[in-house]
Each structure stands twice: as structure tokens, then as C-alpha cells.
Amino acid sequence: MKLATIDNGTPDGALVVVSADGLRYLGAGTIAATLQAALDNWAEAEPQLRGLAERLAAGEGEDTSAIAFAAPLPRAWQWLDGSAYRSHGELMETLFGTEPPPPGRPLMYQGLSHRFLSATADVPFPREEDGIDFEGEFGIITDFVPMGVSPREALGHIKLIVQINDWSLRALAPIEMKTGFGWVQAKPACSVAPFAVTPDALGDAWAEGRVHLPLAVDWNGEPFGKAEGGPMEYGFHELVAHAASTRSLCAGTIIGSGTVSNANFREVGSTCIAERRGIEMLDEGAARTGFMRFGDRVRMECRLRDGGLLFGAIDQQVVRG
Amino acid sequence: MKLATIDNGTPDGALVVVSADGLRYLGAGTIAATLQAALDNWAEAEPQLRGLAERLAAGEGEDTSAIAFAAPLPRAWQWLDGSAYRSHGELMETLFGTEPPPPGRPLMYQGLSHRFLSATADVPFPREEDGIDFEGEFGIITDFVPMGVSPREALGHIKLIVQINDWSLRALAPIEMKTGFGWVQAKPACSVAPFAVTPDALGDAWAEGRVHLPLAVDWNGEPFGKAEGGPMEYGFHELVAHAASTRSLCAGTIIGSGTVSNANFREVGSTCIAERRGIEMLDEGAARTGFMRFGDRVRMECRLRDGGLLFGAIDQQVVRG
């Protein structure tokens, strides 16, 4: 099942169910006005939403081409981003002389959640000199998660899967990281692809709490990377359990994978510029790829093995803010 | 003017205006159902709320002793916590060999904002071994703040001042801090004193974006510290401008001062146990004060120079979660 949020001018938009091919939708307002409301009451809402999905599968629904999608959750109470791909982490550790994370502890920070940009919105930044970078990620959305859940229990709290562009300002990131406090200035609002999908929509590409599909990134129309989502050191269920160790998680908590990265990044490419620059530093002694300029575009998409676009596409431009 | 939120069983509670002495209240539902709604529309809501405050000053209102207050914002879209008292920072740097923050850059992390506990709620934690500690802070709440505001402009966006207990788990904090990602497990939900007050309620104790009043902390009925709020290295307006450098801030953003601390902490005491333990390590070679145990209570209050309790009191017990 695919869910989405129509931008109707309100802060949380209006919930719709979308057909598997993304071409038609049915309004879900009689079940839940917003995706947050559906997540707050998921056990009751889900079977009713699946009823709409069945009607869509039978051919009902309106044309999606005429409407504007917001992010699935245009704002959320909690966004926790991991960094679960070791090939990315190891590269950064090699380059910057930082230490690897403690064994058995996923990396995670809490980020800006009061606004998630739509997949096609212009993205405003104050300065090119801040080092504007995209980061292609997968993410999940939970219902309410009690404090202290096991990874196994956490798996059942993963209700939706999303695709995220975690915008990063690379000139600011190391300065903030060095304080130990994590990022505020270096991590403005993320963008999210339009469709939030239930795990069953991935078929066997959802396994062990991981998305076993490639995330294709194009920068200004040129292929930049196509890394597989599978090789996370920790699955999303383990990230959920880590986050819920000393707190319960509210319904609508979004947890990110961190930049998708594969050990053979020289072959498959990267999902952020910082990683490509890191590879250049290692291989050529200096980074030759610059960060994004105002007017640059980035496109990110994830296709099922049958070619279908799973989450819809992120395709957007950075602009002077 | 003092605002508060009555716990009416809904996630955001019901907004009320409270008399200066905290003894009477008038419901504000006809103006704004919740404090968040008032902040979303502050320019219109504030003068109307002040109308209720005038009626309270004239003797109207119901008795507050019969009602239960929630935190002023029982949940917020954004909580950014600073660490603006250099005496606390310098002590920690001396003890742990960490580096001071870069000149001109306030320390700040983004924390859990989907739940703020009331001032009297039991506070559940999974394990005493995690090093349960209180942190007495002041905080401010903004209306919408555009990206790139100056500190001077930011001052006008500080609409309310609050008193916060930023609960911390000290055994987890250094492990998370070392990753550079900031804290997730080490920083569960904060507690907030019941009254959020407008800056004018402080009289000349609100100056240069700082609260020039002492924060008294008692642990299990024994005085623990009474540090002055004034000596922040950066005022709240500078913290707001720092936070808004690369993002706009949503209305209802809460920004904290960090643990209130004074250079003469040996005389005035501390507002968190970690600081007292640090002083013991420096002076006696080892920390002899333990962290909190289940059943322990902490009380925090801030009195105006005339003796009036400004924010109401935080007075609560930690329990096994």
C-alpha cells in the first residue's frame, strides 16, 4: 500500500491512498485526515486504508498528475537519523582521522522535524560556501514504540518506508561535529519522496529490516550513484530499538538509514557528494568535485525489480534562500 | 503575563492565563485552544490574552489549586538546547580533556520534543546505572523566526520564558558525545515548570536576553545549588540567531540555556549532579556524590526579588520505567 499527502495549504496536508503505479489516488479523509492521524490510530486505520488500496487496484481513483504532493509527513514530532552504512563511515574515518563508533552501538542524531520539504520543492540555502550536499537515504516511520523494545519487537512497529534527501551543509558539519553536540546549522530540513509505502509493497526486497533495492541519484541530469540499500550494518529494527532504549517513540517517528553507501563505491558511485570527494582525496590526493551551486538539480529514485518507481521521485533544485 | 496549559487528557492540553501570584486562572479557549495555537498566531492572540491577564489582576478567575498543569507545551515541534554557561563548560573540559567550543559559536543540540513532562509527573527511567541526573535550565519559546535573523532581531521573537529540568543519563552521555552525533539515549524527555511567562513579567531581571534571577535546586529536600541565571556567555537572542542561521524556526521552538552555572560554583552550588561530581574530582581527587536513585526527588524554583515564584515549581520523583 502507498500513502501520500496532498498539499492543501494546511500544515499537515490531506491523506490519500495511491495506486501501486502511482497514477491514481483516493482521498482518505473519512478514515484519517492526515498521515499523522492515521499513525496515531494505525491498528484501526490500516485495514480501512487497505480497503481504499483494493478499490484503486480495481481501477477506481482520480488522476495524480493534477495534484501537488507534500512530503508524506510535512512535519513530524521526531526525526532521528542513523549512519548505518559502514563503507561510508569507514571512508570518513580514514579521511578525517575520527574514531569508529563503539561496537554494537548504531550512530544516530536527532534532527529538524518541523518541516519536511516535498520532493519537487525548491530548496533554499543562504550561501553556496556552506558546502551544499545531498544525501540519499531510506527511512522508516513507526507507530508508538514503548521504551525498551527489542529489535524483534521493533520490526512490528515499522509501519511505513520512505525515501529521503537529507540536505547537508558540509562546511559547517565538521565544526559542529567536533563539539560532540551533533548538528544544528549543518542539517536544515530534509526532502521526502511523495509515497510512504507499507513494507509488503517491497515484496522480498524488504528483509531483515533493510531495503534491498538500489537508490539511483542523478546530479544535473548525470548519473552520480546507484548504491544498494541492503548493506546496512544495523537494520531499521535495530535502529528503532536503539532509539527506544531510554524513551518511548511517538507515533510518526521517522528514522533514517544515513547516506546509502556500498563497499564498492568506486563502481556503483555514491549518494552524496562528500563521499565522492572522499574517494577522490584517497585516490587522487585531492577532491576535485565541488559541492552544489544555486540552480543545480538532484534527482533520486528507487525502482522495484519490475521497473516500477517505488516512492515516486525526488527531483528538485537548490536556490538562494 | 503568565500562561499555562491544563492537562485535559488531550496531547496539547488547554491554554489558560494565570494570575501573577499563580493562584487563579481564566480559560483562554476562545482566543486559542492551545499554547501552540497562540504562538502560531501570536500578534493577534497576545493582546487578547493580556485582556484576560488584566481581568485576573482585577480579581477574577478560578482557583488553580484544583487543577493539574501540564508542561506549557506538552509537546513541541522543536527543542534546541544550548550550553551557554562557560563555568560549566570549562569544568567539563578540564575533567574530560575535551576542547573548548570554537570562538563565537554557541554550543547547541537538537533534543526530544514530542513530550515534555509536567513539573510534578513521576519521571520513569529504565536503569539507575545509567547515571540519572537533573539539569536546571532556563529556556525561551519563539514565534516563527525567519532564517538569517540577527541577534537583535531575534530578541523580538522571544515571546515566553520557561524553567526546565533537562533530564540526563550521565553514563550514556560521553559515549554518545564521542561520536560527534550528539545525544539520543542520554537525553530523554525534559520536565517544564507550569508557567510560561512573557519577558515583561521579569521586570529588569530580563536584560540582554538573559534571566537575571537565581535557580534554586533541592535534592531530596536538601539545598543543592542556587546559581544565578545571568552569566550566560551568549544571551538567548544569540542562541536564537545561531539556531536560525540556516533554517527558519517554527513558532513554538523552545531553546534552552544549558545547565545554569556560575564561576563561584563552590559557594553557590550547582544545578546538576555532574557538575558537583566534577568539582569533587578536582578538589578531592574523586567524585563522592552518586547520581539519583529511584524514589529520589528534585525541586527547582526561581523566585522574583519580591519572593514570588515566577514559573511555579518543578517538584518530582524519579521512578523505575
Q: How far apart are the first and last CA of chain A?
A: 36
Among the partner residues A98, A169, A243, nearest to B184 by beta-carbon distance: A243
Q: Is the complex ipTM higher than 0.90?
A: yes
- pLDDT tens figures, A95-115: 888 889 999 999 999 999 999
What is the reported pLDDT for B239? 98
Per-10-residue mean pLDDT of chain B, 321 residues long, equals 97 98 97 98 98 98 96 98 96 86 95 98 97 98 98 98 98 94 97 98 97 98 98 98 97 98 98 97 96 98 95 98 88
- CB-CB neighbours of B97 under 10 Å: 7
> Which of B40, B78, B95, B184 to probe the A interface (max A CBs under 10 A)?
B184
Size of interface A-B (CB pairs under 8 A): 129
In chain A, which residues have pLDDT < 50? Answer: none
Nearest to A110 among B112, B115, B242 (CB): B112
Contacts of B190 in chain A (CB under 8 A): none
Taking residue A59's Cβ as centre, other Cβ atoms within 10 Å add up to 8
Residues of chain A with CATH 3.90.850.10: 78-320
Q: Report the gap between the CA of A206 and the closest CA in chain B (Å).
A: 26
Q: CB B246 to CB A130 under 8 A? A: yes
Q: What is the pLDDT of residue A295?
A: 98
Q: What is the pLDDT of residues A109-149, one digit of tens each?
A: 999 999 999 999 999 999 999 999 999 999 999 999 999 99
Judged by CB atoms closer than 8 Å, whether chains meet at A109 and B111 is answered as no
pLDDT of residue A208: 98
Q: Do A109 and B182 touch (CB under 8 A)?
A: yes
What's the confidence (pLDDT) of residue B96? 80
Q: Do B102 and A175 touch (CB under 8 A)?
A: yes
pTM over 0.95: yes
pLDDT of residue B133: 98
Distances (CA, A) of B185 to B118, B177, B281, B313: 20, 11, 25, 26
Contact A108 B184 (CB under 8 A): yes
| 3-state SS, one letter per residue, for B186-243 | CCCCCEECCCEECHHHHHHHEECCEECCEEEEEECCEEEEEEECCCCCCCHHHHHHHH
Q: Which CATH architecture has domain B78-320?
A: Alpha-Beta Complex (3.90)
Q: Residue A95: what pLDDT?
A: 84
Please, which residues have CB within 8 angstroms of residue A9's CB and are 6 or more apart in sequence? none
